């Protein structure tokens, strides 16, 4: 392929690296990268990939910009509050490189998003999404870059379920467990998001252009209290296998290399209407931590360990991932509040303090 003059100028510092050159810019120009999540990790990933000279960049995110995001999600400004993150991130990327083919997908990750990409970046920082990405990438042999941050701690790795030495996210975390903690409750150091997101972006250029060695089979951990970086190996042992204990449909999907199906959703407005109907006997379960409960709950909610009566059950957490995980373990049909308590709050719906 021919690299334009503008792109050669854009990538001039990359081409000047030892072991780089014009052929590296060509490899980058052919690369198709999917980024899932445009928040604390996705923002720095998109910021650096935007100027990397990629062929196509697809950004998937179902959230909108909130004022609390601005300290760490540096793609956004106050003018973007209330706008879909995927659309704003795509506009910023186009502004850096008008030749970049940028696709914004406003919605949740779906396994079909993976097709047609060379690398997937999991910047959603939600374990359910990560397992879905891992299972979608595995049968296609597509590598995916994973990162996570919480409080002062961060981790980065690269998974590719291909060949005798392949590893995936299930080898790092074989047990099906919900997310522990949240940035809203436990906080997160803003600069840590930038540090981890930058490493994630560098993994993409390592994978598609050979600029450095990717973290395949290696877990990089950072303690931002002391700024210590440590590396640990990830291996697929002889007993390594996919998680057990999933419902039949989810187990079949996992065995086939696809993600476990998510529980059905209910919008905040629809849930509010049902709760206002005295004849409706649904049970609302809130699986957030006691600290999160202290910030406000939907009236009538019960904890996740409560004995459930017969009838419909709706479960919520902060955003949805923990609710999905709980729904898979309860052994009965469950509906998840779409977007969780965060979505309920954004619509200005009431919460009570308990």
Intra-chain end-to-end CA distance of the chain, in Å: 62
Catalytic residue set: 183, 317
Query: Which residue has 């910030």 as its token pair?
Result: 295
Above 60 in pLDDT, residue 331? yes
State mean pLDDT over 70-77: 94
* Predicted pLDDT of residue 324: 72
Residue 163 — pLDDT band, cuts 50, 70, 90? low
- Going by C-alpha positions, the residue among 20, 31, 42 that lies closest to residue 198 is 42
* Predicted pLDDT of residue 6: 94
* Predicted pLDDT of residue 262: 57
Strand partners, 229: 222
Residue 125 — pLDDT band, cuts 50, 70, 90? confident
> Whole-angstrom Cα distance, residue 293 to residue 317?
10
Q: % helix / strand / coil in the chain, to the nearest 5?
A: 35, 20, 45
> Whole-angstrom Cα distance, residue 340 to residue 330?
18
CA atoms lying within 13 Å on the CB side of residue 21: 3
Portion of the chain with pLDDT greater than 70, in percent: 88
Stretch(es) of the chain classified as CATH 3.40.50.720:
5-255
> Whole-angstrom Cα distance, residue 270 to residue 188?
33
* Predicted pLDDT of residue 230: 96
pLDDT tens per residue across span 247-259: 333 334 333 334 4
Cβ burial 46-58 (10 Å sphere, 16+ → b, else e)? bbbbbbbbbbbbb
* Predicted pLDDT of residue 294: 92
- Going by C-alpha positions, the residue among 352, 345, 351 that lies closest to residue 319 is 345
* Predicted pLDDT of residue 247: 34
Largest Cα–Cα distance in the chain?
Answer: 71
More confident residue, 235 or 84: 84
Dig out the tokens for 202 from the structure: 């560098």
pLDDT tens per residue across span 21-73: 888 899 899 999 999 999 999 999 999 999 999 999 999 999 999 999 999 99
* CA triple 52-55-57, angle to 5 deg: 80
* Predicted pLDDT of residue 182: 64
Phi, then psi, of 103 in degrees rounded to 5:
-120, 125
More confident residue, 36 or 329: 36
pLDDT tens per residue across span 11-23: 999 888 887 888 8
- Residue 155's contacts (CB-CB under 8 Å, 6 or more residues apart) are 146, 147, 148, 196, 219, 220, 221, 222
Above 60 in pLDDT, residue 119? yes
> Whole-angstrom Cα distance, residue 312 to residue 289?
23
> Whole-angstrom Cα distance, residue 291 to residue 302?
15
Dig out the tokens for 268 from the structure: 């905040």
Residue 178 — pLDDT band, cuts 50, 70, 90? low
Q: What's the chain's Rg over C-alpha atoms?
A: 21
* CA triple 280-285-286, angle to 5 deg: 135
* Average pLDDT over all residues of the chain: 87
State mean pLDDT over 145-150: 95
DSSP track, 261-291: PPPPEE-HHHHHHHHT-TT---EEEE-S-HH
Q: How many CB atoms lie under 10 A from the CB of residue 231?
A: 10
* Predicted pLDDT of residue 239: 60
> Whole-angstrom Cα distance, residue 83 to residue 66?
9
Stretch(es) of the chain classified as CATH 3.40.250.10:
265-346
> Whole-angstrom Cα distance, residue 262 to residue 275?
23
Fold of domain 265-346: Oxidized Rhodanese; domain 1 (3.40.250)
Fold of domain 5-255: Rossmann fold (3.40.50)
């Amino acid at each position: 392929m021919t690299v334009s003059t503008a792109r050669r100028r854009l990538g001039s510092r990359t081409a000047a690296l030892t072991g780089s050159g014009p052929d590296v810019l060509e490899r980058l120009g052919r690369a198709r990268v999917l980024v899932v999540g445009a928040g604390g990790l996705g923002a720095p990933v998109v910021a650096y990939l935007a100027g990397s000279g990629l062929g196509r960049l697809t950004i998937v995110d179902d959230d909108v910009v909130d004022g609390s995001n601005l300290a760490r999600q540096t793609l956004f400004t106050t003018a973007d509050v209330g706008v879909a993150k995927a659309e704003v991130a795509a506009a910023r990327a186009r502004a850096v490189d008008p030749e970049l083919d940028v696709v914004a997908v406003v919605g949740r990750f779906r396994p079909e998003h993976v097709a047609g990409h060379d690398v997937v970046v999991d910047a959603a920082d939600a374990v359910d999404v990560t397992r879905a990405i891992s299972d979608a990438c595995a049968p296609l042999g597509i590598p995916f870059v994973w990162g996570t941050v919480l409080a002062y701690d961060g981790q980065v790795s690269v998974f590719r379920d291909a060949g005798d030495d392949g590893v995936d996210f299930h080898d790092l975390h074989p047990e099906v467990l919900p997310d522990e903690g949240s940035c809203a409750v436990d906080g997160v150091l803003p600069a840590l998001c930038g540090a981890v997101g930058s490493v994630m972006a560098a993994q993409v250029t390592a994978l598609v252009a050979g600029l450095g060695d990717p973290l395949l089979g290696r877990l990089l951990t950072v303690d931002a209290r002391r700024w210590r970086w440590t590396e640990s190996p990830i291996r697929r042992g002889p007993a390594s296998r996919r998680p057990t204990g999933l419902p039949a449909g989810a187990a079949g999907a996992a065995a086939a290399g696809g993600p476990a199906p998510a529980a059905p959703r209910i919008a905040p407005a629809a849930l509010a209407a049902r709760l206002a109907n005295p004849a409706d006997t649904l049970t609302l379960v809130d699986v957030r931590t006691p600290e999160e409960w202290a910030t406000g709950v939907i009236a009538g909610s019960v904890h996740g360990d409560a004995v459930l009566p017969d009838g419909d059950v709706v479960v919520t957490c902060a955003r949805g991932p923990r609710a999905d995980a709980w729904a898979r373990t309860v052994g009965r049909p469950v509906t998840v509040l779409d977007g969780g308590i965060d979505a309920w709050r954004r619509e200005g719906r009431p919460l009570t303090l308990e």
